[in-house]
A and B are shown apart, each in its own frame.
Chain A
Amino acid sequence: MPTDQSRLAARRITIGYRDRIVSENLSLDIPDGRFTVIIGPNACGKSTLLRALARITKPSEGAVFLDGMAIATYGTREVARRLGMLPQFSAAPDGILVAELVARGRFPHHGLMRRWSSQDQTAVTEALAATGITDLADRPVDALSGGQRQRVWIALVLAQQTPLLLLDEPTSFLDIAHQIEVLELMRRLNRHHGRTLVAVLHDLNQAFRYADHVVALRDGRIIAQGTPAALVSADFVEQVFGLRCCIITDPVSGAPLVIPLGEAPSPVSDDFAAG
């Protein structure tokens, strides 16, 4: 059994669905206390990897380790007190209220005997406040906009209050302002609350700006991982996404900024790419 590893780690896992193997023999350590972002082209196995890390899909070989023990050896509620997971798609039951839905995030903290407590109340209140939806608490979820709804789901996993939090494309369906809001929220959770975060993101510039650690996936394999500054180059982006681009420095954050060249690049852009 591996000992000196991070809290959450995959060891030589093979994952996939009934008729299709997505990843084989994959190992990954999620750095503790960091904000890790998984990037990669569509259908490269990002979501499947995240689902395996959250024990939603079981690897056919290998194992995911949580705090030094194979995740399958824990009770599922015990896992849920340490690790939260927001799937890509979720549907709210008809007519459910925001506060009611967020309160369901407290499920792993309840037992047969242990009912709703002031601790639960605080967790829900904080989650609503952190996602800026306190005012919507009494509204039905069906009546909200897509962006508000996504923040409700995030609030739900926040209310779970787990030290580890996995999010599958948490910024999808959000406009740019709300995307940034969610990313800033995740950074705050990471910096101020010491939570270990893992997110699948599609926007490379956002990934490079907010991630401490980037994991690049292609065809189910980890092509490279590291800090954005050390990792990102035009070659790297082309290798992962098959996209020709040039990289400049984001004037605000200092992070690498990807500028796609497009199909018919002008001579100027070619110069950029060469340099």
Chain B
Amino acid sequence: MLTAANTLRVTRVSSVRVESPTVKTFTFKDKLCAKARPGQFIMIWIPGVDEIPLSIMNVEKGEVSVAVKAVGEATCALHGMKVGDKVGVRGPFGSYFTETPGRVLLVGGGTGVAPLLFLAKRLSARAKRLALVMGAKTKSELLFLDQFTALCTAKSMIAATEDGSYGLKCLATEPVETLLKKENFDMIYACGPEPMVRQIFLIAEKYVIPIEASLERLMRCGLGLCGSCMIGKYRVCKDGPVFNATQLREVKDELGVSKLDFDGKRIRF
């Protein structure tokens, strides 16, 4: 069907917040996106530049927020935007996290923590236990520390940096395995670079814990039509971006190993 979600709406940036030297959070009004569930994404059109997929970080009072790291032409152009500037929005699109209210472990890498923050807000009152492992290259790239601390309590929050500038000096995978050796969880929710997601998935399998992971691929149409974002038989934009353990098992050979490039050629991570 021709749906309202697929239709491009133009809206204005209502607030910009600097989260780190490379990450800003953008908020804008959009009624449809404000109904999104944690894990879903939107397509943002930067007029005259590009249109890119972004995970939703929060929805509140008819507004939607996304955390954006300046890495390429589109994200740098977005970083140059001010309150009142116009962007186009499509979505919300895709699958979402199940919001299991048991003992929950969140694992995020880099800006992958953004949808997990949205999820943590929904779960904090309901989950029996809410623990978070977040990883980043360096201290300044650990995002939303205060908000996560408030939601998970300081005791249940483990940070890891590759350069050891904050928390543990290791990848996010190490503290995850340490935690799982000590206690049981009902669900792991993961989001971050795909090689990290792969490792977390393998650990979850080893300890026989259900996992849902949000994946990111090159996206064009966002409608499940063009095939640019395929992983195995799945379309990340339509069947994903959140996949459960059964689906991740089906795409294990590709997960964190290879993906399609702009020209549809398979490249390695």
The answer to whether A and B assemble together is no
A residues within 8 Å of B by Cβ?
none
